[in-house]
Amino acid sequence: MRIYNTASRQKEELIPLEAGCFKIYACGPTVYDLMHLGNARPIVTFDALRRYLKYKGYKVTYVQNFTDIDDKMIARARQMNITVRELADRMIEEYFHDADSLNVMRADIHPRATESIPAIIELISKLYEKGHAYVTDDGVYFEVASFEEYGKLSHHKLEDLEEGASERVTDVEGKRSALDFALWKFKKEGEPFWDSPWGEGRPGWHIECSAMSQKALGDTIDIHSGGVDLVFPHHENEIAQSEAASGKPFVRYWMHNGFVNVNQIKMSKSKGNFFLVRNLAELYPYEIIRYYILQSHYRMPINFTLTDDKDEDNPLDAAVTSYRRIRTSLQTLDIVAGSVAESGDKEVDRTLEEAIADCRREWTEAMEDDLNTADAIAAIFDLVRAANSAAASEQASGALLRNARETIIELCHVLGLKPDEQEELIIPAQVKKLVDQRTQAKQERNFAEADRLRDEVEKLGFRLEDTAQGVQIHLLED
């Protein structure tokens, strides 16, 4: 398998440090709010990586942290009039609700920063003893200039960064450079704090991940993942403090996913242009959200919009339609395979057999080429089309139709998708809106408009049944 390593800016052969085993650290959320679609992307993406490596037979130790103490946590807890711990507990529970619903496997270890304070203090102590850290009036800082390789991940030159930093004013008494970052922040009124050799306070953001990774996985790990926005300064700072302390390489492969944008602008809570996964799940099943994320290559940006314009397709509506094709194919193959002979027409069987082999090969090539889930899904659809054609002919053998069906299911399962399982009827938001408009039209006794809207619903593949309990929505049978 070849993956794009942010550090080298090229695809590299993915080889574990220890034969047969991968150690992966995934930067997790700061748990001050619910998960939005941009937060979900790395979680789903690197869950797919983990699943694929396990499918290949590797042992994978997967660590994903929770940042449960920082400025955002403190501000939100004050706003809600609860403690930071209460906020973290609540949001972690909500995180698992969404992540579990997205069929994301729980990490082997989910460390919390506040439960890793001894490891954090130990790491800061090493840096201080080795001359990489110093104390100021407001905390302990890492001296960036003491680490000559600073900038090697983000491909910034230290001298250029220092020149830019020199133009910025720092209001911290005793801070040697604007580039230097906090390892330990001395306590302020009303903030959580812990004892340390330098005084009461709390850890800085960057040191938390280094300490949690080192404690769980050792000095050198195989893969570190996260969003592309974390490359600088967060991951750059992780490298500096980790390698300055241990003297060993910190990470062998850096993987970063692209943004989820709204109208070409990065989705973020600070900009207010975000869609909570929880809210999207009121309109679309979680599995569709996962499928939608995997339809794009992980390094490419996704431009997401939801529109009320019925003439414009919402991306999740398109995902519903696409995913329904897989589900429908599996149902058809199951029925036809049970009704045809075990031996079929030689030419039809040969064509389907080749399609199954081609699908496996192309799917594997896609996954091996930098986790290209988009092309992997395309390979599955090639088999769906071939299998549908063979089933429609009623000349394929039952054994091969079952083989095709099992292949589709197997490859979807590796991606964390389960199109073979019973699920609630997937009703696109556009259909729900038309049904609401039809109900309104009937209340206004505009029956001609109600009939027109019913026809619009049928064009989208659904039929309506008026009952005493209200309108029922059914899948339109072929």
The pLDDT, as a whole number, for residue 280 is: 93
Query: In this structure, what is the dihedral angle of CA atoms 58, 100, 405, 425, given to the nearest 10 degrees?
Result: -170
Strands 462-467 and 470-475 turn out to be antiparallel
Mean predicted lDDT score pLDDT of the chain: 93
Q: Residues 283-292: pLDDT tens digits?
A: 889 999 999 9
Write the DSSP string, 293-305.
HHTS-TTS-EE--
Write the DSSP string, 124-137.
HHHHHHTTSEEE-S
- Fold for domain 17-294? Rossmann fold (3.40.50)
- Fold for domain 312-414? Four Helix Bundle (Hemerythrin (Met), subunit A) (1.20.120)
Q: Residues 225-276: pLDDT tens digits?
A: 999 999 999 999 999 999 999 999 999 999 999 999 887 777 777 777 789 9
> Radius of gyration over alpha carbons of the chain, in Å?
26
Q: Residues 14-71: pLDDT tens digits?
A: 999 999 999 999 999 999 999 999 999 999 999 999 999 999 999 999 999 999 999 9
Report yes or no: 250 and 220 within 8 Å, Cβ to Cβ: yes
Report yes or no: 301 and 261 within 8 Å, Cβ to Cβ: yes
- Does the pLDDT of residue 208 top 60, yes or no? yes
The pLDDT, as a whole number, for residue 169 is: 52
The pLDDT, as a whole number, for residue 170 is: 61
Average pLDDT (291-313) is 84
Average pLDDT (185-210) is 97
* Closest to 395 (Cα-Cα) out of 351, 356, 436: 351
Report yes or no: 400 and 390 within 8 Å, Cβ to Cβ: yes
Q: Residues 43-53: pLDDT tens digits?
A: 999 999 999 99
The alpha carbon of residue 118 and the mean position of all alpha carbons in its chain are separated, in whole angstroms, by 30
Count of beta carbons in the 10 Å neighbourhood of residue 8: 13
Cis peptide before 233 (omega within 30 of 0): yes
- Does the pLDDT of residue 478 top 80, yes or no? no
- Does the pLDDT of residue 210 top 80, yes or no? yes
Q: Residues 150-159: pLDDT tens digits?
A: 999 999 988 8
Cα 279 to Cα 282, 284, 304, 332: the distances in Å are 5, 9, 15, 33
Q: pTM above 0.85?
A: yes
